[in-house]
A and B are shown apart, each in its own frame.
Chain A
């Protein structure tokens, strides 16, 4: 095709607006707009770094700024190093990685189901995990030690059984949703309703299991459901981090397919997107991240709903930007919530899942009132 295939005007301009000087250099404006958003990303990233540093410094063991920097660089020995690397960093990195994962997973679910209310929590994936965890604790007697607040749990017998069953519960919920979506060709609204039904089913299953449990088991099961970022050790962080990184890369690779999907399913198909395959792979990877995050940390509600919506408000629906922004905002929100929880309770700890619910529920209502516009 020749380059200049059309004359200057084959149509009289239909728009009533006069061209301003800024309109003249359209490409420049377009790129400036993109650059502005990339700058915003780095500003937010800088905030995240500040928040991480603040979060490291905060706690009963006082750490100076340079002590923190030296510890992070591996130049500090003794208690400062232990406090930073063994106590505070695992919690902080867990919050960052889990926030990233839940944020991007919610973004993908919302896009792929073309529904602004999609998230791991609203589809019943989190409730499936909670059921799996309760089942393993009550029926299989997993977890002989009641987890103490702030205690790193990896290695304690039963923790992995609970984690694995939580993961299985989450995957089970995912498979049911995917099958309904695929086999019955359900509308996005119907899928969300199915998610509600599935949540209710898993929740009643959890209650049923807990009815037959001892007090000690109930305590453990309920404690498990409080989403909390203190349970993961470096192994869990590495697993979740690796999976999240792969999934984020895949979404970034598919960003133009996500953009095309915004223009409608048929249009994206006519542009060469394999919508079914994209939906299946995309949903499965979103669910995998959510399932792992929930299995390791318990139920952290609404974060997957909240992060992508804030992202959309900031940068619109361009997935070149929305994928990284959903990650970053998820990480910021979760770390802010966790740090906020620590600040509120002084030396103790408030499960971060409680705080995210407090942030998320009002947003959910706000979206309903706004007519569910994306």
Chain B
């Protein structure tokens, strides 16, 4: 297991947002984080990324206690891709170079620069490298942010709705990138998604959150329409079309 989360609780002030979260993620697997709006998906990702401080429970990454790590150490294990991007006027190259910050002492080494160049190549962003990142389109920006996360060389990628503002082609490209990076770099990923079909297409395992806690943790073969109905409150049909498992919503269940 690359990541084991056990008994994690989190509250904003007095209001509990996550209670008793426990799951494990095998190395090289993609975990889809599902649940309705406000179920705590983003909060869970932020807790793992160290943006929010977890005070109760344990997070073990690669055999080490993540909650005891300092910021840079944590950043060498988890790379976080947020849902909203700032319109930073940094150059794309500098933006991606930020991913090397947790590895730097005083400044970037020649090696850091080379890795940035390499990742820009791999993601087809070379031509954009000297542009200011606030002049990019949504799809390009998402890829730049992904490049930043990958060059960070984490063990686990944490992606918060990476496809929510993208067109169909960019959605597939971004998710393909994630899947291939996971395969090549031997990473693992936790991805929150709204689109269950994307989850079926790209994830290995599903973690469904409901009522601030884990409702279902299962591999995607074991997901049933009943589970989806229970979590989303929607009657669905689960079909197989060619090689793809797809979810067709029928109607919002009246509960």
Residues of A whose CB lies within 8 Å of any CB of B are 1, 4-15, 17-20, 23, 26-27, 29-30, 33, 256, 259-260, 262-264, 266-267, 269-274, 312, 316-318, 320, 374
Number of contact residues on B: which range applies? 35 or more
A24 to chain B, nearest CB (A): 9
Determine, out of B15-23, B111-119, B205-213, B215-223, the stretch whose residues face the partner at the interface.
B111-119
A374 to chain B, nearest CB (A): 6
Contacts of A33 in B (CB 8 A): 130
B66 to chain A, nearest CB (A): 13
Nearest residue, chain B, Cβ from A5: B185
8 contacts between A and B (CB under 8 A): A11-B177, A15-B124, A15-B125, A15-B127, A17-B127, A262-B89, A270-B50, A320-B107
Docked-complex contact B46 and A266, CB < 8 angstroms: yes
B51 within 8 A of A: yes
A329 to chain B, nearest CB (A): 17
Docked-complex contact B184 and A7, CB < 8 angstroms: yes
Docked-complex contact B126 and A260, CB < 8 angstroms: no
In the bound complex, how far is the Cα of B123 from the Cα of A20, in angstroms? 17
Docked-complex contact B90 and A10, CB < 8 angstroms: no
B143 within 8 A of A: yes
Interface of A is mostly: loop
Docked-complex contact A6 and B101, CB < 8 angstroms: no
In the bound complex, how far is the Cα of B129 from the Cα of A15, in angstroms? 11
Docked-complex contact A259 and B94, CB < 8 angstroms: yes
In the bound complex, how far is the Cα of B101 from the Cα of A187, in angstroms? 27
Residues of B whose CB lies within 8 Å of any CB of A are 46, 49-51, 70-75, 78-80, 82, 84-86, 88-91, 93-95, 98-99, 101-102, 104, 107, 113-114, 117-130, 132, 139-140, 143, 148, 152-153, 158, 170, 173, 176-177, 180-181, 184-185
Docked-complex contact A10 and B89, CB < 8 angstroms: no
Docked-complex contact A374 and B89, CB < 8 angstroms: yes
Contacts of A267 in B (CB 8 A): 80, 82, 86, 98
Docked-complex contact A272 and B70, CB < 8 angstroms: yes
Docked-complex contact B94 and A26, CB < 8 angstroms: no
Known: A13-B124, A26-B117, A270-B51. 19 other contacts (CB 8 A): A11-B122, A11-B124, A20-B127, A26-B93, A27-B117, A29-B129, A30-B113, A256-B98, A259-B101, A262-B88, A263-B98, A269-B51, A269-B71, A270-B75, A270-B78, A271-B101, A272-B73, A272-B75, A318-B91
In the bound complex, how far is the Cα of B29 from the Cα of A43, in angstroms? 54
